[in-house]
Amino acid sequence: MTLHREAFDTETTGLDVHSSPPPRVFAYTRFDGEKYIREREGTSGFKENLQAYLNDTSIAKVCHNVKFDYSVLLSNGYRIPKETEWHCTMVMHQLLDNINPSHSQENICYEIFGYPKHTDEQIRSMAKSVGGDYSKIPDEIMQEYQQHDAVRGKLMDDLFWPEIERDEKLLDVYQHEIDLIKLTYRMEERGIMIDRKECYAMIDWLDEEISKLQSDIYDLCGKYINPNSPKQLAGFLFDYLQFPIYDFTPSGSPKIDKHTIYTLQENGFNHPMLEYALKYRSYTNGKSTIKKYLQFANKKTDIAHCNIKTNHDVTGRQAAEKPNFHNVQKEGALLIRYPIPARRCFRARPMHYWDLHDYSGIELRLIAALSGEQELIDCFKSGGDGHALLCNVWYDDVYSLHLHKQVVFSEMPSDSPERKTLRGSGKNGNFACGYGAQPKKLAQVFGLSIDDMKRSFDKIRERFPRYARFSTRLISQAKRDGFIVTPFGRRLKIPPEELFTKPGNFMIQGTGADILKRAQIRLGNYYRDQWNDEIKIILSIHDEIISEKPRRFLRHEDRLQRETSEIMTNFPEIDINLDVELKRTFGKWSDAE
């Protein structure tokens, strides 16, 4: 049944829906293209009228940021019928134009319709001056602002919705995005418990380490240089030490980020100040991050609620902020030289435990499935090691620059440290090849000479032709159609400057996002329907879903794990078996094993 559609928007006294108390809904608007309705608190029956509107499921509510409106209404105690049809013009725009630098309502409408946005700039400035409380802005200004928002919402819905609806698979992706928003409210509302004692202990440790570094820098340089100051650090490295400059910032200053430091070290410039700078930056950033955990945690409950952006990345990946729970470092992080063991700062609630379900080796599995490389698919389906299968060809009687010897990978013992070293570099190389890297780059990753790599690359193309040409086929599709499409129907435009380097990465990341989001929704519904909503998803991060469970559920774990695995791996759209690994902790996140 086609419902009557109305642009709907709320105005609030703040933006943090999980604050205590939450921001108040003080006004709302409705607009169907002809009739415009605005109500503000203080008028007779404001709350009753808003609740009656929400109860009317014959009207589809079209918001620009439905996650905010949906969440703030629930946090204010309004009841939302399960049957309510919600729509989000921001999600529509994200799906139709994923690489657009802005998905804000005013920028979209200015770009497409030439709709003026001067009122928005004025409102933002005024809201900032009153602490984000829009109810303190003069009502005559708010009236004009809200009317503009209502008109823009209807303009976007009229343009975007027919295009979404025409494509059956894209419509399915869109509907999953809306379902995910509802689940995400429940996740955010639950929140995550911090270990306040551990946070303070880590801050004390970092203070000591930072103080030692400051003394070491003074002893080394004869004066104190602040590694967090690009000007001071660049002056020491490039002016005093005369190190080469590899790149510049947009303002024209020498770039001195961690990648510049790595490049200097790789080229033989090994002054101790380089390591001091990396360590100092990591520790000061880590201290600031842990202070944010404390800042956002409720002082009575120690629960922190982050804001999850459900479709933030250009590939559809999720992100988190205030605080960023998607970037909590762990001990031994491979790509971070001085990681902060911040996962010690989070723990399961008392009498609860966490189950962490992680998709094992999903990246190469997806490359195999989406390229249609049958031998690689069959390897995974039989329980084999796809990375080792490819390494058998890459390292087939070649000289390893990593091991400084001639190697034949297939003849090396499975528990050999040398084999593990080659598999580690080979794993990165397997991804690089799948994403379109050429022999010169692959030689660096695999640790082979150019001549050996060319011979190995020819063998790979002969034995695994679809895998080797996976990215090339996607480039052709992007050129022809203007975008690529995941097996689930998500459209992904590729930035023109990345057309020849990123299609493979976009396809795998976008497909991975589709899988994780659908698994989240299924698992959330399963917990709600089968376990009385006593089990809660508290976070999804990269390729992992973290659930918090009462300890009394341990006696049901055989059933829970069997059914969870089925929920997370049953995707007929992907012609390959997915595998889920389980880790568990009864205490800190860092203890999960």
Q: What is the structure's pLDDT at 443?
A: 94
Half-sphere exposure of 267 (CA within 13 A, CB side): 10
Report the distance separating Cα 580 and Cα 585, nearest Å: 17
- 363-367: long-range contacts, CB 8 A cutoff, minimum separation 24: 363/431, 363/508, 363/512, 364/427, 364/430, 364/431, 364/434, 365/576, 365/577, 365/578, 365/579, 366/508, 366/511, 366/512, 366/574, 366/576, 367/430, 367/431, 367/434, 367/467, 367/470, 367/504, 367/508
How many CB atoms lie under 10 A from the CB of residue 460? 18
CB 181 within 8 A of CB 61: no
Three-point CA angle 534, 75, 109, nearest 5°: 120
Q: Which domains does the chain have, with CATH numbers?
A: 4-166 (3.30.420.10), 196-301 (1.20.1060.10), 352-360+509-591 (3.30.70.370), 374-463 (no CATH)
Helices 139-166 and 168-190, axial angle in degrees (round to 10): 130
Q: Which tops the pLDDT comparison, 128 or 154?
A: 154
How does pLDDT run across 229-272, given as a tens digit for each residue?
Answer: 999 999 999 999 999 999 999 999 999 999 999 999 989 998 99
Tens-digit pLDDT profile for residues 50-65: 999 999 999 999 999 9
Q: Using CA atoms, how far apart are residues 394 and 403, in angstroms rounded to an integer?
A: 15
Given this model, what pLDDT does residue 178 score? 98
Query: What is the reported pLDDT for 475?
Result: 95
Residue 95's pLDDT is 98
pLDDT greater than 80 at residue 335: no
Q: Tell me what percent of the residues of the chain surpass a pLDDT of 70.
A: 99
The CA distance from 298 to 117, in Å, is 37
What pLDDT score does 331 carry?
Answer: 73
478-515 per-position pLDDT tens digit: 999 999 999 999 999 999 999 999 999 999 999 999 99
| Threshold 0.75, pTM exceeds | yes
- Please check the confidence at residue 310 and state whether its pLDDT lies above 90: yes
Nearest to 547 by CA among 556, 560, 559: 560
pLDDT tens digits, one per residue of 259-307: 999 999 989 998 999 999 999 999 999 999 999 999 999 999 999 999 9
How much is the pLDDT for 337? 82
Tens digits of residue pLDDT in 182-224: 999 999 999 999 999 999 999 999 999 999 999 999 999 999 9
- CA dist 129 and 532 (Å) reads 45
Q: How confident is the model at residue 1 (pLDDT cuts 50, 70, 90)?
A: low
pLDDT at residue 563 in the model: 98
CB of 303 closer than 8 Å to CB of 249: no
Say yes or no to pLDDT of 343 above 80: yes
In angstroms, the CA 547 to CA 540 distance is 9
Pairing state between β 86-88 and 59-63: parallel
- Predicted local confidence at residue 266, as pLDDT: 85
- pLDDT band for position 347 (cuts 50, 70, 90): very high
Q: What is the residue-averaged pLDDT of the chain?
A: 95
